[in-house]
Structure 1
């Protein structure tokens, strides 16, 4: 026990002894030097009453100003300021004490003036010297030398990154690269700007770099693809700073270093939204999100909570997904009125109960089955959930006077070749035509694949790469549209504000991406080589799968809207009596598990639908033998 107390006190005691020694040294030295210019000097002694009073006065000021609370290991400018403050206040305290003691009879006025800067220097220099020694001694004692690092990007982000890394013992900054010719040859915090990004492979070799750090948080996906391409040529590991959108959203901190994610390469320019109109449409409203535990649904819940909804009700079939998003929202938005409900959209009684309790003004219908191959042989379940589920929620919204109903759809509903796509198209048709019969604004938002959503290709590839491969791609030429989950949800919110009722809004998905390219990049980002460390196998198109997706049907005559990233498709009308009759027949067919009748109903709703055969025979083609 005594040993622990001594161990705890000892460092502070050493600091006290050091500081009082510096006070004694400063006072006696200055006093001796000043009296050396006089022929008659008083006998003060090294530890006379005057010196003891000085030590007592200054020690009391040290304690009051909290000088001993700071650690020498982390001495910085605030500590130096506190030292200067303590020395100044100490001089005043000494003046008052000695005036009361002997009217300052033995203290020349110049001693009091010189004492403050001298003491500040004697206290501050050892602290800074100790920190410098602690910061640098590990470079000599460490078994492995500091990692040699090249920083890509010499803008504000690069400046911030370098400023932070120069204090790190783990890294040794050997240079920076930037395409701006005006800063070529300059030095940023002592680190030289060596050349352009195109020179990276050569400069990395010449500087013997061991790691590359990308400091370009505002770079577009095209710029990131270019930079990552240069990084991959070097064969060195590389990290990046988070994107500005992630920092603003609180998903990352600005100085954080992370691995380059596939979203950094396939994401697009930050979407500019009319947040004023979006906030007006959501703030203070009662909102219901079906499928709120899924990838899109959960992000919609976060956005709605962030926009200040009066209340949020979540209807979700998966107990675990509902539990997870409920816990997150209660933690992040404790003031939000939240009601999490387990339920199936196809359960009309359950839907009616939820609408009666929640009395929503805005409904986002995100609940749906979406896995194409899995649903291809399960028409009843696909129709029951994706079509009749939408039918049940839409009718409940109409009965309860909902202001706005947004159906989350997919590009697979355009010229559908799969059961999943055909059912989503049938849901679109119902909502489009129901809009003319209801006071509720029914709006459909259609978009493509969402990066890293549950059941999508990105987590599948990630798992396959982790297992050593092969990574399975259905066809060398297959392409898909991609966007990030937050971007998709923000555009959904924007479309909800734009819609007047009955429209189909399609989100601008940018350029389609080859799935083979996606697989190659994910393997490379994992630090492996395609075809050598991880094989890519082309297995053939699956039942209901298309080589490429479309966002519009030729008859929909799409046109631009006031938002550059959102397009409007003209709805195709259908006789309401025929549509309601088909829905009634479908409900009967679902109850009787009559998939033949359900298929005939789909054919009547979608004359253009021609489902592919169910032959799922796959031919595995190795990566090395793929077409060029």
Structure 2
């Protein structure tokens, strides 16, 4: 055996020996400490009971010995001689009480076997046990109290206030107090719903939102925790705007709405930094989950574009509704890899498929293999300026891909086909919007001629998606600015991704076929206001810490998005946030396919982009575009082509 191995074995033996010695000495130390505590408890019990005994009694040495031995056996049974001294917990104290109680009861049984016991012996045993709990418990917790109250390092804590004094605020406050690793010191709670002057875990409730704003103004508050999930976004935005005016560096954290939490009790881990989603967009919508679940439960579901922002959220929401099979299809293998990893070990398995919806042969094979009953079609090119430079790609995927998967859905007898559309399909000024309008026409045309039910759902921008302006602004803020806004008057509709997806699923479950549903997106938001809000949420000041520059409209962009064509109207549905658009059909199924074939023939043979745009306009009369000239793939000049 080599010297190194000998040294290693010697080290292991010494380690085992020292570990054994440490355990042994610790056990002896606790045994002696408990014995002394029990002796003191017995003396106190005897001195307390003697005046009431009616006659002089000698100290009950035998009975005391039996009690001491029984309680030590009880503590041993509850493994209290293996517990650490520094980190004694509440659970350990409960075990001490149980060990002493059982030991005390056992001592009475043992004592009765040796001599007659009367009321004095019973009272003596009870009093010894009660006093022993205090002495032994105090002895065991003494080291922890010393380190936490006397010798603990003085860590800096953030001066914190909580907005929300009901169950959520109470649970978060309790979590902060219980977990010593949180470096927060809560000084006050504010809530209009709770009577001022009450105390919650030793922290006073000092009023509502107005009192909170004044308190933050007059005190060195460093952090605000909003534990009020149902508080209206518009009102919360007003509070934050007021506070940021006089304290821009205040840290604000928030407990999101319960629809985004798990079923676990609310805790500090659910708190996150406030984001633009918390102050912009609409109030959380009411969803009929029973109807949605009935449309998904036990069915085979396919989501195209399953790696994208909307598609991946569709996968997540569908997975919660127990489909028999869930297929996520995308041309981006990296995003599919992340989705697959996310669902490993979950009850619902996600089957990844790397494929393009424009590949007829591959899609035919996949639909034949998996036989989906419901298809959510979210695959599309959505980046407006990029598709202006490459219109043929938008036509291949948004038009050709939709036509391919729609025709195959009919061939393989898919029950329902729900297409995710966009507000940019209304009076489109760009190729992306025009191609999505053609995709809506394709769905309506196939619905009239086949048994598969086709539904389109049209909505605006979603906060936090990969194509959203929000991630771009955040990246610009991280770089120190400037933020680039295309126009001071530009407005967009916004909705959070989970809300948009749930409404898409709600509309899909409601549709009987042929509808174009329009989601109520609330009020449009000025992009300039959003940029300023994002800067403030990063504890900075607009035009002081971060500049805002006006860059001008990009190719294909317009100032205001519309959700309905000028000639269209809407009909109410049973859901107040979902409307049914009255869409006018331009072509029969056969005529539409001829037009689409003509477009494909044109860019295969000629590749003239302006000719492609003109032919696209013949399908979508409301499409207005510009003649373009490109150098190295970039647009260098244009001429407006007006709407017919």
Alpha-carbon distance change, 186 to 41 in structure 1, aligned in 2, over 3 angstroms: closer
1:290 aligns with 2:291: no
Equivalent pair of 1:184/1:193 in contact (CA under 8 Å): yes
Matches of 2:489 and 2:265, distance apart in 1: 35
CA 162–33 in structure 1, closer or farther in 2 if over 3 Å, else same: closer
For the residues of structure 2 that align with 1:106 and 1:252, how far apart are their CA atoms?
Answer: 48
Listed as ranges, the matches of 1:391-540 within 5 Å are: 391-540=403-552
- Structure 1 residue aligned with 2:12: none
Match 1:121 to one of 134, 150, 161: 134
Which residue of the partner structure matches residue 313 of structure 2? 299
Is residue 239 from structure 1 mapped to residue 234 from structure 2 by the alignment? no
Q: State the TM-score, normalizing by the size of structure 2.
A: 0.88
Match of 2:37 in 1: 22
- Structure 2 counterpart of 1:581: 594
CA–CA distance in structure 2, aligned partners of residues 527 and 276 of structure 1: 42
Distance change >3 Å, CA 127–CA 220, structure 1 → 2: farther
Deviation at 1:118? 1.9
Match of 2:337 in 1: 323
- What do residues 571-608 of structure 1 show as CA deviations (whole Å, max 9, x unaligned)? 22123332121122233234335335422321210122
Report the CA distance shift for 1:98/1:386 in structure 2 as closer, same or farther (over 3 A).
same
Mean Cα deviation higher: 35-44 or 508-517: 35-44
Comparing 68-77 and 292-301, the one that deviates more: 68-77
- What is the TM-score with the length of structure 1 in the denominator? 0.90
Q: Which residue of 2 aligns with 1:314?
A: 328
1:146 alignment partner, one of 148, 157, 162: 157
Q: CA deviation at 1:394?
A: 0.3
Within a 5 Å distance, the mapping from 1:580-619 to structure 2 comes to 580-592=593-605, 594=607, 595-612=609-626
Structure 1 stretch displaced more, 80-89 or 451-460: 80-89
SS in structure 1 of the partner of residue 539 of structure 2: coil
| Residue from 149, 152, 172 that aligns with 1:161 | 172
* 2:69 alignment partner in structure 1: 56
Deviation of 1:120 after TM superposition, in Å, equals 1.9
Q: 1:65 aligns with which of 71, 78, 92?
A: 78
String of CA shifts for 1:384-427, please: whole Å, max 9, x gaps: 11001100000000101111011111000000001111111111
Residue 279 of structure 2 corresponds to residue 268 of structure 1 = no
* Residue pair 1:426, 1:605 contacting (<8 A) in 2 also: yes
| C-alpha distance in 1 between matches for 2:25 and 2:477 | 54
After superposition, what is the alpha-carbon deviation per residue over 1:480-530, rounded to whole angstroms, capped at 9, x for unaligned? 111111111111111111111111001111111111111111111112111
2:294 pairs with one of 266, 270, 280: 280
Q: 1:215 aligns with which of 212, 217, 227?
A: 227
| 8 A contact 2:276–2:533 mirrored in 1 | yes
Distance 1:119 1:359 in 2: 71
Residues 599 and 616 of structure 2 are in contact (CA less than 8 Å); yes or no, is this contact kept in structure 1?
no
Matches of 2:22 and 2:257, distance apart in 1: 46
- 2:367 matches 1:355: yes
Give the secondary-structure state (helix, strand or coil) at the position aligned to 1:194. coil
SS of the aligned residue for 1:272 comes to coil
Structure 1, residues 241-284: CA drift from partner, whole Å, max 9, x if none? 32133553569954333211111111432221111111111111
Residue 566 (structure 1) shift: 0.6
Q: Shift of the alpha carbon at 1:304?
A: 1.1
Q: What do the CA deviations read for 1:15-44 (whole angstroms, capped 9, x no partner)? A: 333222212222244346656767664576
> How far 1:186 sits from its partner (Å)?
3.0
Whole-angstrom CA distance in 1 between matches of 2:96 and 2:471: 55
Change (3 A) 1:138 1:539: farther
Residue 457 of structure 1, CA deviation: 0.9
For the aligned residue pairs, the C-alpha RMSD in angstroms reads 2.8
CA distance change for structure 1 residues 56 and 482 in 2, over 3 Å: closer, same or farther? same
Displacement of 1:189: 2.7
Distance 1:40 1:57 in 2: 26
Whole-Å separation in 2 of the counterparts to 1:576 and 1:106: 99
Deviations 1:129-156 (A, max 9, x none): 65555444467x41x5433222223333
CA pair 138-261 structure 1, distance change in 2 beyond 3 A: farther
Q: Distance in 2 between matches of 1:15 and 1:227?
A: 56
Between the aligned partners of 1:470 and 1:294, the Cα distance in structure 2 is 28
Number of aligned residue pairs: 610
Describe the shift of the 1:138–1:176 C-alpha distance in structure 2 as closer, same or farther (beyond 3 A): farther
Task: Give secondary structure in 2 for the equivalent of 1:303.
Answer: helix
Report the secondary structure of 2:326's partner residue.
strand
Structure 2 CA distance, aligned partners of 1:245 and 1:416? 37
Greater displacement, 524-533 / 475-484: 524-533
CA contact (8 A) 2:628 2:635 kept: no
Say if 1:316 and 1:342, in contact at 8 Å, map to a contact too. Answer: yes
Q: Over residues 433-471 of structure 1, what are the superposed CA-to-partner deviations in whole Å (9 max), with x where a residue is unaligned?
A: 221111111100011111111132111111111111111
Q: Does 1:343 align with 2:355?
A: yes
1: CA distance, partners of 2:233 / 2:551: 29
